[in-house]
Structure 1
């Protein structure tokens, strides 16, 4: 296979990115790229990449070197999982990273670019209706920070870039931030503050998430032209946050001490950023993803959480 047909990937040390890299380096001969090059900043990331059979590329999307731009422009496939640090300048940094990457992609050479961001871009529903990709976005939490990158992506699409924007919902698995937080609270028998009635969230098992990213990388362009190039990644069944917590408790043999609070009391207990997520009904639909032909291995947290084997871990 032509050695120039490589996949360039960002964010290989993050939660989604590291799992995606492990997934994509398995049985790599069956995939349309001949190699995987991953963006890293330091030697630790480089060692992890090499251990999985990927080629590390040193650089920084906040200030890409000519060499890094050349690697990006030469890629046949691009998977953008990199995220900015969670600081007060997150939105500015994320926008710069996204715009630098998208600006360096050669739309006449790349076969597909997949841009990964959060489904919080679509935000909360005002009623019980499901939110899909046609719903006017009402970003919350980190959601507003994705706007600049999405605008750059759509503009590049008008110039010929074959792309998919993948809006990942509440992706869970060993190492995801909210899974770790809940497991710690369960282990320490701490009260877990939740909204009453509980907010409903879209969830997706990390295995289904990375499978969906590969699916979108290799999907026929004609299907995307028909369905749309912006796709929410979530499982089949949004559920109350309490259901997710209680599933974690059940499979680990612990008791969930749920502290059910009305909106004002919960807002007083949590930082604004965390409250924005904890209080939002995000009934996001995966109808477009399913319509494209993808099926979740774990259609809800009822199947997905036990598959994490948390009791054994």
Structure 2
């Protein structure tokens, strides 16, 4: 594979993607705002460029040297109470970043742009059967705030821009929400909070498989097509927690809270996301020939828990 230009390469999925690129000895240029992070990437043998998509800079020349793009970057939000105002600021930043990137790509030299969105774009799937990327619903949670970015892609595709869109479901790994919401409380014998009266299905995917799928779609994704990134088996939060408990050999304490209190703590956006079914199928991705390192959460949760525990010393 030719050189890949990566945005968001020092984030949650990006960190796993960088490791996959190093392991498979591929060539990549990683865009980062941080000089320190750029130096760290170079020390690992990768090419890095310091810059911001919203500002002109040397990243534009580096982008022109690449034949593939993986766009992971988005305005940071994790760990915050997400008010409607914050979500609207996120939406504007997300859309502007999308336009800035696509407007600086030469349609004649690029082979594929793997654009990473999210399944919140599809809204509540219901629990009756798994949904594919052709499912139509009202966006929920973050969905309304990425919808403009996703919808504008069709305009560029019609102009000949080679774009493959990926919608990761619930990405779990040793960082972000999984330790914060489940592993740390159980390990420290503190309560795990759940929404009273809600037990929606969600479709998980290990962060390593998310990164591997991004790379896979560079060469194998069909231009103009959409793919759901999830593993083979959806499950509920309670079932997910049981897997973590089994690996830690500890029993967690669940404390149910009402929806109004969740909205007060997390804000309306994350509360809406937490109460929606995100029940998807990976059929299209598997039909392309993608194989999973962790086909289900039963396979992946032990890896994540062990990784997290090892960091505790």
Q: Distance in 1 between matches of 2:209 and 2:263?
A: 32
Tell me by how many angstroms 1:69 deviates.
2.6
The one of 69, 73, 86 equivalent to 1:78 is 69
- Count of residues in correspondence between the two structures: 299
Tell me by how many angstroms 1:267 deviates.
5.3
Aligned pairs for 1:1-313 within 5 A: 5-28=2-25, 31=26, 35-65=27-57, 67-86=58-77, 87-88=86-87, 89-195=89-195, 196-219=197-220, 224=222, 229-260=225-256, 270-308=266-304, 309=306, 310-313=308-311
Encode CA deviations 1:183-234: one digit per residue, 9 max, x unaligned. Answer: 2221332222224351211100112111111110121x6xx26xx6111100
Q: Distance in 1 between matches of 2:267 and 2:249?
A: 30
Tell me by how many angstroms 1:6 deviates.
2.3
**Partner SS, residue 48 of structure 2:** strand
Answer whether contact 1:107 1:156 (CA < 8 A) is retained. no
Encode CA deviations 1:244-266: one digit per residue, 9 max, x unaligned. Answer: 12212221222111234565676
The structure showing larger relative contact order (alpha-carbon pairs under 8 Å, at least 6 residues apart) is 2
2:83: which partner in 1?
none
Q: Distance in 1 between matches of 2:270 and 2:148?
A: 23
Answer whether contact 1:117 1:166 (CA < 8 A) is retained. yes
For structure 1, the residue ranges without an aligned partner over 5 or more in a row are none
Encode CA deviations 1:78-119: one digit per residue, 9 max, x unaligned. Answer: 111111122441111111111110111111101111111211
Alignment TM-score, normalising by the size of structure 2: 0.87
Q: What RMSD in Å do the two structures reach over aligned CA positions?
A: 2.2
Q: Distance in 2 between matches of 1:74 and 1:155?
A: 24
Moved more, 145-154 or 88-97: 145-154
Alignment TM-score, normalising by the size of structure 1: 0.87
**Partner SS, residue 211 of structure 2:** helix
Answer whether contact 1:112 1:217 (CA < 8 A) is retained. yes
Answer whether contact 1:172 1:179 (CA < 8 A) is retained. no
